[in-house]
Structure 1
Amino acid sequence: MAGRRVVITGMEVLAPGGIGVKDFWGLLSAGRTATRGITFFDPSPFRSRVAAEADFDPWAHGLGPQEIRRMDRAAQFAVVAARQAIADSGLDLGSVAPHRTGVAIGTAVGATTGLDREYRVVSDGGRLDLVDHGYAVPHLYDYFVPSSFAAEVAWSSGAEGPVAVVSTGCTSGLDAVGHATGLIRDGSADVMIAGATDAPISPITVACFDAIKATTPRNDDPEHASRPFDRTRNGFVLGEGAAVFVLEEREAARRRGAHLYAEIAGFASRCNAFHMTGLRPDGREMAEAIRAALDEARTNPDEIDYVNAHGSGTKQNDRHETAAFKRSLGEHARRTPVSSIKSMVGHSLGAIGSIEIAASVLAMENNVVPPTANLHEPDPECDLDYVPLTARDQRTDAVLTVGSGFGGFQSAMVLTRPDRDRA
C-alpha cells in the first residue's frame, strides 16, 4: 500500500472573523483584518493588549451543556470543526471499518484557557498558596492531557484507528496533517480526521509572550497591528481557532464521487537544533524542509504558483523565511507570490498551520492569492512579492505552505490539484 495518494475531501475552519469556510475565505479574499483589542479578560496590565478572537458560540454549533462543561474551548473548536468537516466530505463513516479511521490533532498549548480559568478558581484568584481542588471543574484531568483533544474527536466520529495529538509548537497544525497523510500512505488507515486547534488567548499566554517581547505593543491600532514583512512591524498578534480536514486515499474518494479539494503531495519537517526561540538568518533548515517536501511531491521549484508563508510579523522570522525561499526555490522565488494570512487572522500558535492549509486549498479552489494585509512599507531585506493589501487573481495549481516554531521546528507542505500527473 506504500505510496497511496492522499486527498482532502472535507474541511472546516473556525477562525477569527470567519466561522466556517465561506466566511473565512470571504475575510481573506477581501483583505479584511480580524484583530482587535482583547475582550476575553482585562488586558490593561499587559504590554500587548491586542488579539484575534473568534466569535464562537458553542451552543449555536450544537454542543450540549455537558460537552461545554467537559471540554476546554480548544477541544470545543476541534470537535465542532471535525463534525462539520465530516459533513462537508459527504463520507458515511459507517461505511468505513472503525479501525481504519483515525484522528490526528495538533495543538501547541493544549487546554491553556481552561487551566488558567481553573487555577484562578482553586486559588481564589491567586490568593491561596495551597489550592483547594474541591472547587475545580470535575474534568480538570482532561485539561492537563492534550491527548483529550484527539480522544474527543475520535469519540465524536467513532474513529477506532490510530489516534494521536501532535504538539510541535507553531508547526503542530502542519505536522498533524503530515502525520495523518503518512498513515494513509503506508496503509495504516483509510480515512484520517486531521487538523489542529488552539485557544491560547488567556492572561498566562499573554504574559509569557510579553516577557520575551514577541507580541506587538501596537495597542492604539489593533486592526492594523499585524503587519508581516512590513518595515514597521514589531511583533505578532496572538490568535485562536481551528481547522480540521477529512483525508482519504485518492482512488477510494474518487470511487465514491467525493469532491477532491487538493492532494497533499509532499510534506517534510526539520529542526535547527540551534536555539529555543532564535533562528539562523540563512534559513537553511526551512529550505531543507521545503526541498524535501518538493522531492516527495515530485515537484520542481518553478512549478510552485503560490507560497503561503509563516509570516508571523517578527523581524527574525520574516527575514529567515525570505532567505529560505530564495535558498530553496532559487530565482523562481522572485517570480512567486507570497503572502501571510496572519496579517488578518493573527497567530493561533499550533492551530495556524492547519488554518493556513485551508487558506492554501481555497487559493487553488478559487484561483485567488490572498493578500498580506497592512503591508505598506516593505522591509528592504524582505524583497520578494508579498502580495500587499489586495488579493490577486491567479491560476494556482501547486501551493507551498510552511511553518516555523519555537524549539527550532521547520515544516513544509506541498498541495496540488488532485488530478495532477505526478509521473
Structure 2
Amino acid sequence: MNEALISLQERINSRTAVVGIYGLGYVGLPLALRFCEVGVKVIGFDIDTYKVDRLNAGQSYIERLSPQHIERALAQGLEATTDFARTAEADVLIICVPTPLNSHREPDLGFVIETLTSILPHFRPGQLLSLESTTWPGTTDEVLAPRLIERGFIPGGNCALVFSPEREDPGNPDYGTHDIPKVIGGMTPVCLELGQAIYRHAIRTLVPVTSTRTAEMTKLLENIHRAVNIGLVNEMKIVADKMDIDIHEVIRAAATKPFGFTPYHPGPGLGGHCIPIDPFYLTWKAKEYGINTRFIELAGEINHYMPHWVVQKTADALNEHGKAVKGSRILVLGLAYKKNIDDSRESPAVEIMELLHGKGALVDYADPHVPSFPKKRDYHFDLQSVELNADNIASYDCLVLATDHDSFDYELIQSRARLIIDTRGRLSRQNNVVPA
C-alpha cells in the first residue's frame, strides 16, 4: 500500500476522513445522515439546487426523514453543495445516483458517467471511490476504472475503487441503513480493505466478496429473485381470477407450510427504482455472452402487463354498472409504489392513471404521502391529492385501490364508494368491490 493509501487508511481509522456523497435522494441522504450520526464529516453533492437549499436550511424532502434528522446532521457537520470542486476536500467519494433504463429498455449509465466526469477534474491520489448505484456486472472495472487510469489513478495503487450496492428498503421499520448487511467488492484486495474500513463505521455487518463483478451480480440476483416471484404470483392472480378463486386466501393458506414456500403478494405491477429496472441490466449484459435470459424476460412481460390488466378489469366493472370508461370520474387510491412511503418512482399507479386518461376517463388521485403529483419524465398530471371524505368518495364513478396505505379509512371508503377495483386484496368481498 503506497503512502497516499496508508494516509487514507489512517484517516478512516481515526474517523477524520471526510465522506462525499453524490446524489442526495432516497439512498444517498439516509447514508449521509448515518455517517454523520457516527461522527464522520460528510459533504453531500447534488445538481438539484432545491435539495441542497432545503438541506442547508434544515429541511427535509423525504417523508421518513424529519427536519430534526436534518438539523442533527447539520450540527454534526453535514454540508450540502452543488460545487463539485469540493470533491478535493473529501477522502471517500460515494456515488448514489439513478441508473434508469432508456426508451429501448437498455441500461442508461448517463447519471453515473456525468457524476464521474464532474468528479475527475478534482480527484486526487489517496481517495476512495465507491459506486452504490445498481448496474450490470462489469461496470466498475469496464466503465469507472478506465476513466481513472486515463488520468493516472491506479486502483489499489494510488487510489481505491469499490462497488457496494445500496440495499435501502423505504417504509420498512425493522431495517434502517445501519441494520442491513452491506456487500462490498473491491478492484484489488487493498481496495476491498479500505472499502470495508470506511463502511464499518456506519454499517453493522459487512459482506466482502471477491470482486466488484460479484458485488454487482449480487444486487441483480436479489432484485431478479423478487421480480420473478412477483411475476409468478401475478400470473397466478390472473388464473385464479378466471376461476373465481381468491388468490390472497390461497397465499395465506400456502404460507402455513413451514418449509419450501415463501409468500409473495400480487399487485397492479412493479414499482420503485430497483425491481422493475434491474433485471433488464442483466438481460442486456447477458446478450454480450450470447445468452437469452428467457425466464427473467417472461417475468418482466407479466409484470409490465399488470397495469393494463387492472385497467381492463376497471373497464369491465364500469360496463357492468352501465358506464363507459370515457367520461367516468375515477379516483386512484395511492400514488406511491408501495404502502406507507412517499416514493412514486416507477409506480404502477401512475401508469394506471395514464392508461385510464388515454381512454377518456377523468382521473384524480388520493395519497396522503404524495400531496402533489411529482415531476416525471414520461407522465404529466397537474394534480393535487384529493381529500378522502364521504362526499368526495361518493362523487366518483369508480375508485382504484393501487397502493394500500395504512392511513386510508377503508371502512369509510367501502361504505361510500359506488365501485372499487381492489388490486391489493385489502378490502372484504362485497358487491361494490372487484378484485384485480
Q: Which has the higher contact order (CA 8 A, sep 6+)?
A: 1
**What TM-score do the two structures reach when normalised by structure 2?**
0.28
Larger fraction in strand: 1
Structure possessing the higher radius of gyration over alpha carbons? 2
